[in-house]
């Protein structure tokens, strides 16, 4: 995670090629949050989860980036996207599968 934060703190100085996919996606998400690209948040959250990031990872990046009140609306959209992706990934439990046949 420290590599992600260094990349966000010093854009262009840190070589993203040495980061694994999860950390690259976290850096991209951090940049989207930093520049307030609201329309790109949901797609990037999906990519970040797909790369293996957790909600905790995403929140750490967001808390690092949030230093300006103008980003408030961006963070609201991030939380909506996280909730949507988490709900989508919850295992589906079928009531029918849990029922036993009665003789």
pLDDT in tens, 10-56: 665 556 667 888 988 998 999 898 888 989 999 999 999 999 999 88
Residue 32 lies in a domain: yes
Per the prediction, the chain carries an average pLDDT of 77
Residue 73 counted as domain residue: yes
Residue 9 has pLDDT above 70, yes or no: no
Residue 98: inside a domain, yes or no? no
Domain contains 47: yes
Per the domain annotation, does 38 fall within a domain?
A: yes
Q: Considering the domain boundaries, does residue 62 fall inside one?
A: yes
Stretch 53-81: mean pLDDT: 79
Tokens of 6: 């260094």
25 vs 4, higher pLDDT: 25
Looking at the 3D structure of the chain, how many domains does it have? 1
pLDDT given at position 17? 67
Domain residues for the domain of 13 are 2-90
CA distance 45 to 93: 25
Cα-Cα-Cα-Cα torsion 92, 78, 51, 53, nearest 10 degrees, comes to: -80
DSSP string, 40-98: GHHHHHHHHHHTT--HHHHHHHHHHH--SGGGHHHHHHHHHHHHHHHHHHSPP--HHHH
Mean pLDDT value of segment 71-88? 80
């Amino acid at each position: 995670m420290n590599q992600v934060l260094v990349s966000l703190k010093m854009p262009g100085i840190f070589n993203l090629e040495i980061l694994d996919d999860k950390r690259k996606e976290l850096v991209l998400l951090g940049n989207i949050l930093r520049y307030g690209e609201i329309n790109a948040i949901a797609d990037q959250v999906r990519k970040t989860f797909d790369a293996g990031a957790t909600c905790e990872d995403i929140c750490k990046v967001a808390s690092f980036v949030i230093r300006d009140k103008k980003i408030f609306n961006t963070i609201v959209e991030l939380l909506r996207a996280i909730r949507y992706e988490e709900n989508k990934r919850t295992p589906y439990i079928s009531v029918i599968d849990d029922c036993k046949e009665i003789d």
